[in-house]
Amino acid sequence: MPKSQYIEPKKMRQAGEVKFTPIPVNQYKKTVKQELAAKNFTKDDLKRIYHDMVVIREFETMLNLVKTTGAYNGVEYNNPGPAHLSAGQEAAAVGMAYMLTVDDFIFGSHRSHGEFIAKGLRSIELLDEKRLEKTMEEFFGGVTLDVVKKGFKGPVKELAKRFLIYGLMSEIFARETGFNKGLGGSMHAFFTPFGIYPNNAIVGGSGDIAVGAALYKKVNRKPGVVVANIGDASMACGPVWEGLMFAAMDQFNQLWEGDMKGGLPVIINIMNNQYGMGGQTRGETMGYDVAARIGAGVNPEQMHA
């Protein structure tokens, strides 16, 4: 109990109102032409965005065909493991990763292949060739790299893309050459050299783990922010609320001192596809109407929602 924060009964019991400010929703309406004209993006930026979206879609199309037909492009394969796909959510994944650096961490859900690939491609874009080569060579003694470099002649960044896709695919297929030796699989894949922290089979599991990672970054003065990519239905989960409350604690602003003053570097990114497993969130299983409303009650900044 901080003695410096005296709670004055008279003031606390004064009549008043709790006020909320409007939360903007669906404000982004620009076209590709407008973005180019405003010079917010170059043609190459936009091509990269589209490229990364297509890579994600094709990767998951491959998984879907393997699951449903036992083959992809004439190669037969049987994958008895899970694969929760995110067709239609590619833009959300690429947009999430677009401005991030390698120092920024992402955590995912049971449906996070897209975010994994988007963050991986973004990191490959940012890292220089030497560091990419070193990362691939040193990863598990180069077992993953050995497979992808066989017969490949091309730039290091292209090799790194093959490494990313193969490492994730092998992981989903429970192979030893996967990023986590096949022990994590679709829902627990990670590759920390690119700032990709684990996906999570526990719905909302990343909603509090990411807050812990943000606290780690803060108290150790590490650069970067942490993103929790979680589904709309996870907003009903207790751990997510614990994470939200922890991230918004007043003490960060009121009691922490010097360069430690201020909130945690965390972004709660709700991948809102309007459904959970047992129903639709809006109008049925939740009362929030719009997910961004949840931030409104958490602190006076409304979690910057």
Ligand X SMILES: Cc1ncc(C[n+]2csc(CCOP(=O)(O)OP(=O)(O)O)c2C)c(N)n1
Contact set with ligand X (CB under 6 A): 109-111, 201-203, 231-234, 271, 273, 275-277
Residue identified by tokens 């719905």 is 203
For residue 68, which phi and psi values (nearest 5 degrees)?
-95, -25
Name the minimum Å distance from CB 269 to ligand X. 12
Cα angle value 163/165/167 (rounded, 5°):
60
Pick what 234 binds: ligand X, Mg ion, none; C-beta below 5 to 8 Å, kind-dependent.
ligand X
Closer residue to Mg ion in complex, CB, 273/285: 273
Q: Provide, rounded to whole angstroms, the least separation between the CB of residue 169 and Mg ion.
A: 24
Minimum distance, C-beta of residue 137 to ligand X, in the bound complex (Å): 35
Q: How far is the CB of 285 from ligand X (least distance, A)?
A: 10
Whichever of 241 and 275 has its CB closer to Mg ion, that residue is 275
CA distance 96 to 13: 43
Among the listed residues 102, 144, 232, 270, the single contact to Mg ion using CB under 5 A:
232
Pairing mode of beta strands 226-231, 105-107 = parallel
Query: Looking at the DSSP assignment, which residues form a beta bridge with residue 104?
Result: none
231 part of the interface to Mg ion, by CB under 5 A: yes
135 binds, among Mg ion, ligand X, none (CB under 5 to 8 A by kind): none
Give the residue closest to ligand X by C-beta: 231
Size of the site for Mg ion (CB under 5 A): 5
Q: Which is nearer to Mg ion, 273 or 299 (CB)?
A: 273
3-state helix vs strand vs coil in the chain, percent to 5: 50, 10, 45
For residues 241 to 280, the per-residue mask of contacts with Mg ion, x marking binding by CB under 5 A and - elsewhere, is --------------------------------x-x-----
120 vs 276, beta carbon nearer ligand X: 276
Closest CB to Mg ion among residues 55, 270: 270
Burial of 60 (0-12, 13-18, 19+ CB in 10 A): buried
Of Mg ion, ligand X, none, which one sits near residue 110, judging by CB under 5 to 8 A according to partner kind? ligand X
- Please, which residue, 177 or 272, has the CB nearer to ligand X? 272
Q: At CA 25, angle to CA 22 and CA 31, rounded to 5?
A: 135
DSSP state, residue 299: S
Q: Which of 187, 46, 183 is nearest to 115 (CA)?
A: 187
CB 2 to ligand X: min, Å: 35
22 to 16, 72, 251: CA distances (angstroms)? 19, 48, 25
Report the nearest approach of ligand X to the CB of residue 185 (Å): 14
On the 0-12 / 13-18 / 19+ scale of CB atoms within 10 A, 193 is middle
Q: C-beta of 89: minimal distance to ligand X in Å?
A: 8
Residue 263, C-beta contacts closer than 8 angstroms, at least 6 positions apart: 247, 248, 252, 253
171 binds, among Mg ion, ligand X, none (CB under 5 to 8 A by kind): none
